[in-house]
Structures are given as C-alpha cells and as structure tokens.
Amino acid sequence: MASLRLEDDRGRKGYRLQFRDAEKRNRTIWLGDVPEWRAQEVKEHVEHLLDRVKKKCPPEMATADWLSGIDDDLRNKLARCGLCESVAKRVARVLTLEKWIDEYIGERQDVKDSSKISYRQAKANLIDFFGRKKLLRDITLAEGKRWRVWLKTKGNRRDKKRKTMAEDTVRRRTATAKQFFAEAVERGYMPADPFAKLPSAIQENEKRQFFVEASVIESCMEYCPDLEWQTILALARYGAMRCPSELVALRWSDVDLPAGRMVINASKTEHHSTGGVRVCPIFPELRPYLEVAWDAAPEGAEFVINRYRQSTQNLRSTFLLILKRAGITPWPKLFQNLRASRETELLARYPAKDVVGWVGNSIPVAMKSYAMATDEAFKAASDPHGQTIATPSEPNNVARDSERGHNADSGCNRGCTGGCISGQSGAIEDLGNSALNYENTAKGGVFIVQDSVGNHYLMGDTEFESVTSAV
C-alpha cells in the first residue's frame, strides 16, 4: 500500500508519496504542489504498478495509458523505483539509427556547417551498411567491427572508379560515428558504445607529404587566370594560410604593408583562447604579390580575395587546371602541402615557438602533420665542412652586440645563449687536456664543452648543468 502526506516545510508545500517496492525498500516520490485528486490518482496507479511488478505482469490498459501521458520527470521517478521504463529506455525501444542521428545533428547548433557536412557523410555510411530501420539499441560490437571493414573496402561513395577508402578517411568517419553512439549511451538509449574500441586517431601518412618548391609556384603564376589567383597561390605558399577559409576572410584592413604584418582570422581555431586571431609577418616572398594586389584593388575594396569567395566555387579544380597548363604533375593534398612546405622552411630559419604562432598551429601538430625532412638539411648535416642551414638568431644578436659595443663583424655569440661562447677561432684559449681533468676543474666548478657546430659552453661539474651565472 502507498500513502500520501501533505507537507508544508518552510514555504515548500506539496504531496509526498511513500511506499515499499517489490524488494521491501522504502521509497518516496515528491509530487509537489498538485491538486489532491491528482495526487490520489498517482497513488492508485502506483499501487497497481507495485502489484503488477510483484506478479511480473504488464500493467492493465488504464494504467498503461496513464503512463504514456505523464510527464518525463514523473516517469523517470517511477522508473528509479522499478515501476516502469525510464524515458530513455522507452525511446530506445523504437529509436532507429537514422532518427537518432538526425536528432543529434539537429541539436548541434554549436558547430559549423562544415562539421555538419562531416556528420552527414558519416550518417550516409552508417545507413548504407545498417539500413534505415535498424534500431539503435540493436547495434552490437561485432557489427561495429564489420562496419569499419566494409567502410574501408566498399565505403567510397564519391569515386565511382574506386570502392576502397583511405585509412585516414575511415578513421575520421569512425570518430564521427563514435560521437553519435557516445551521446546515445550518455542519454541511456544504449547500454554501451559498440564503436568505442574502434581505432579513430588520425595517423599522418608521410607518403602524402610533398615539399612544393617555391620555383614550382612561380612557374604556375603565369598560367593563373587572373591576378586574384596569383594572390591565392602566394598567400597559400608564402603566407602558409589555410585555403579557402583564411584566404576569403582576409581583409585589406588586416594587412599592414608598411609595418610588414597581417592579422589572420582562422575559423578553424576560433574556439581557442586566442579566438582564432593571429599576427603573421608579411614575408619578403609574399610582399610583392600583396603590393600588386593592393594597387589593383578597386576603391573601397574590403576583402583581398573577392572573386572566389563562394563556397560553390571549387578552387581545387582550377588549381589542377593551372598545373596542367604549366606541365606540372599534381601532388597529394594540393593546398595543404603548400602550407606545410612554407612551415617547413620557416622552422629551418626561425624558432619553432614563433613559427607555430605565425602559422596558427602547435609544435606537436607541426611536427606530426606539417614539418618535412628536406634534402637541403640532409646535405648540410652530412657535409663535414658545411654550416647549419640556418642561424635565425644571428641578425638580432649582431644588432644587440653592436649596441653593447661589441664587434658585429666578429660573429661573437652567433645566436647562442645560456653560457654559450663563440666558436670563433681563438675565442677560448686552448688549455690542453689537463684543463679537462676533474681535479683541476673542481676548484672552479666548471669546465668547457664544445658542440658539433663549434659553440663552446661553460658546464657545471654536477649533473652536467649549464652555468646560469654571468660569465
């Protein structure tokens, strides 16, 4: 039997229903400030449900109809007492895979349209394999594995000549599918995620990396259909800008030619703490193209790129036509490798922290997906008489030495910090082998170490720590 009690505790007035469930545990349901007849109605149906649960029988039609009409909050309270299915389980009984994905995509108003396109692509792959009437809760772990195999071998819907799908694409679609199922599990529509253990982390394919020489882009310039296309290639190759998102967002108000800097707005990273805004130098290779574009821009022009701003315009197709006219074989990831080639060059010249700030990624991402090994670096490293391919800090240090009264021509402390002494011949007196004897250095606590490019360092005699005091 159940009992009702009217409570009025510090302004909180309403009915509380108390009873013992099938396992003899005391249960209570707060009904709130409802009419007495409504509270009595709930009490009668709860008593009927308790009786039917003990007998392991479904409720009679009157109570079943009542259950179907109550609000979700009350139904979930009854479910926690073991008297009926929760709202989530009730929905899961009839929820199909297609209906759930449509519901999920419709709710994601926080993502960009490009993300929704990815969602729909993954949905199409799932529906092609499972069918439109497949119940969400019936999808098993084994079926999830079979879906991934099918996706890799037969899931290509875009290319009619090839049914297989690239591994990275398979992983991206799998990651999206895992989002669908993880949310379904969280809402109680499924007991477990059947895709949870499927591999989805992107593994960069070095075979698709291609260093695009600057001379190749220069060869393409004369085959561009107009000046704007020359600007597009220059910004992509020499400015390391994402194409097309960052190109079409670039305004002339963001470009400061006298100061040699431009502000880039990246929609891809606008959710980061920086808001997707970064400042990038106008590199010497890029400047002539921006100057020509500025001179040719109509009065009052807002954007740098005006003619190719529509999402329906396929820049890749036009770029392939330019390459064909120039007699150049296309490379994988046409625009991505332009950006990666530029970042590779910059990383060889300037500190990585500065470069990733200009390009708009992070050092781990740059190392994994952008930086490439080059023949130039290999040759420089293997030449016993060669120099390093870049000494980016040299100009700044020379200027600083000049301010301090040092001889700038001597190259003293060429880009070296933290106790580094110039590798110039004669900068350090040759002390002979005896100078490295521990007994001799113990008094001073330091000794001298020379690296592979001729720089000398004062090192502490404990744990080989660099000397941090002034020398």
- pLDDT for residue 359 is more than 60: yes
CA–CA separation, 29 vs 152, rounded Å? 51
- pLDDT for residue 290 is more than 60: yes
Residue 120: burial class (beta carbons within 10 Å; 0-12, 13-18, 19+): middle
Structure tokens at 130: 């499972």
Mean local confidence (pLDDT), 32-51 = 90
Taken in order of first residue, the domains within the chain and their CATH numbers are: 3-84 (no CATH), 97-203 (1.10.150.130), 208-380 (1.10.443.10), 394-460 (no CATH)
β-pairing, 12-20 with 255-256? unpaired
Residue 386, pLDDT score: 66
User: Using alpha carbons only, what angle is made at residue 148 by residues 167 and 100, rounded to the nearest 5 degrees?
Assistant: 120
CA–CA separation, 141 vs 27, rounded Å? 37
Bridge partner residues of 251 (DSSP): 303
Predicted confidence band at 439 (pLDDT cuts at 50, 70, 90)? very low
Predicted confidence band at 404 (pLDDT cuts at 50, 70, 90)? very low
Q: What share of the chain is helix, strand, coil (3-state, %, to 5)?
A: 50, 10, 40
Give tens-digit pLDDT for 156-207: 877 777 889 888 899 999 999 999 999 999 988 888 899 999 999 887 778 8
- Return the closest-CA partner of residue 77 out of 128, 27, 11, 146: 27
Assess whether the previous peptide bond of 330 is cis (omega < 30° from 0). no
Residue 111, pLDDT score: 86
DSSP assignment of 51-116, as one string? HHHHTT-PPPHHHHHHHHHS-HHHHHHHHHTTSS--HHHHHHHH-BHHHHHHHHHHH-TTS-HHHH
Residue 197, pLDDT score: 92
Residue corresponding to tokens 């900068």: 427
Please name the amino acid found at residue 186. E
Give tens-digit pLDDT for 361-403: 999 999 988 999 888 888 888 888 766 555 444 444 434 444 4
Q: Please, what is the angle between helix 141-154 and helix 113-130, to 10°?
A: 110
Cβ partners under 8 Å of residue 347, min gap 6: 355, 366, 371
**Alpha-carbon Rg of the chain, whole angstroms?**
34
Give tens-digit pLDDT for 87-119: 777 777 778 999 999 999 999 988 888 889 999
Out of 12-16, 249-253, 273-277, 407-411, least confident range = 407-411
Cβ partners under 8 Å of residue 255, min gap 6: 262, 282, 290, 294, 304
Query: Cβ(136)–Cβ(100) under 8 Å?
Result: yes
- pLDDT for residue 458 is more than 60: no
Give tens-digit pLDDT for 245-277: 999 999 999 999 999 999 999 988 888 888 889
Distances (CA, A) of 143 to 131, 189, 270: 12, 17, 37
Q: Average per-residue pLDDT in the chain?
A: 82
- pLDDT for residue 431 is more than 70: no
User: Using alpha carbons only, what angle is made at residue 164 by residues 162 and 166, rounded to the nearest 5 degrees?
Assistant: 115
